[in-house]
Amino acid sequence: MKKRLSFYLFQLLFCGVIFPVLLAGCASKTDGGVNTLHRGDISGLKKIAVVPFRAIVSDDPAIRFVRCPVCGTTFRTCGFEGNPEKKIEEIFLKGIESSEQYSLIPSGYVDGVYKRGSAASFGKSPTVILTEVGKEVGADGIIAGYLFYYMERKGFGYSVAEPASVAFCMHLIRVKDGVSIWKDVFDKTQSSLMENIFNILPFIKSGGKWVTAEELSREGIKEILKDFPGLKGD
């Protein structure tokens, strides 16, 4: 009888106190999440050029979807202020540089070559243009990143009207033959535990709060770098 009473009291405590506290917090929900879509041979890949990451959005707010210039995959899109793609590029490249596995040709140097090559390459595919740019700057591979969706949370750390949401993808193309040897996608919207009670680990990692779009992007880049080919520990 005492055991049954204790169990009943535990259930009451969980449902009445602990469970609502959990539901008041939030956890990251995957809307696709990190998805490594392609990996290929990286032998001979030492020097990598970086094209400045681009925001791919529509001028027409009624258009909700756009395509990746390199692979043609469809992504949700929205208009956003500032240049968050530059911050995403910075965080991503710092992660590669810290591994000391590759020598990077910075986007500041590659940008001029890319713009000139794009202007003079009417009718050529983005992959061909990227490959030609890579050859011109003496790279073995070239990275291109695209940001499609960047929605900042509306509210504060522990209370929001709308959560942060981010979608971007990155490509690594081998210059000698134009083959895409790696592609990774991050597409995520944060959600409450009420929406996803089983996703409690991200909730704990986020400190039980609603993260910003930049914090969500950092989470995605951290996961993407785990799958970037050739990095130490890969």
pLDDT tens for residues 65-90? Answer: 999 999 999 999 998 889 999 999 99
Q: How crowded is residue 87: how many other Cβ atoms within 10 Å of its Cβ?
A: 17
Specify the pLDDT at position 61: 84
Q: Distance between CA atoms of 24 and 159, rounded to whole angstroms? A: 9
Rounded to two decimals, what is the model's pTM? 0.77
Cβ–Cβ < 8 Å for 148, 66? yes
Which residue would you say has higher pLDDT here, 201 or 82?
82
Architecture in CATH of 26-226: 3-Layer(aba) Sandwich (3.40)
Say whether pLDDT at 132 is over 90: yes
- 10 Å CB burial of residue 69 (0-12, 13-18, 19+) is middle
**Percent of the chain, pLDDT > 90?**
53
- At residue 23, does pLDDT exceed 70? no
pLDDT attached to residue 26: 34
Residue 216 has pLDDT above 70, yes or no: yes
Across all residues in the chain, what is the average pLDDT? 79
- Cα(227)–Cα(35) distance, rounded to whole angstroms? 9
Per-residue buried b or exposed e for 72-83, using 16+ beta carbons within 10 Å of the residue's own CB:
eeebbbeebeee
**Percentage of residues in the chain with pLDDT exceeding 70?**
71
Can you give the pLDDT at residue 157? 55
How far is it, in rounded angstroms, from Cα 127 to Cα 82? 27
**pLDDT band at residue 94 using 50, 70 and 90 as cut-offs:** very high
As a whole number, mean pLDDT of residues 86-96 equals 95
User: What pLDDT, on a 0 to 100 scale, did the predictor assign at position 2?
Assistant: 44
pLDDT tens track for 144-198: 999 999 998 776 555 556 888 999 999 999 999 999 999 999 999 876 544 554 5
Residue with tokens 């998805």: 35
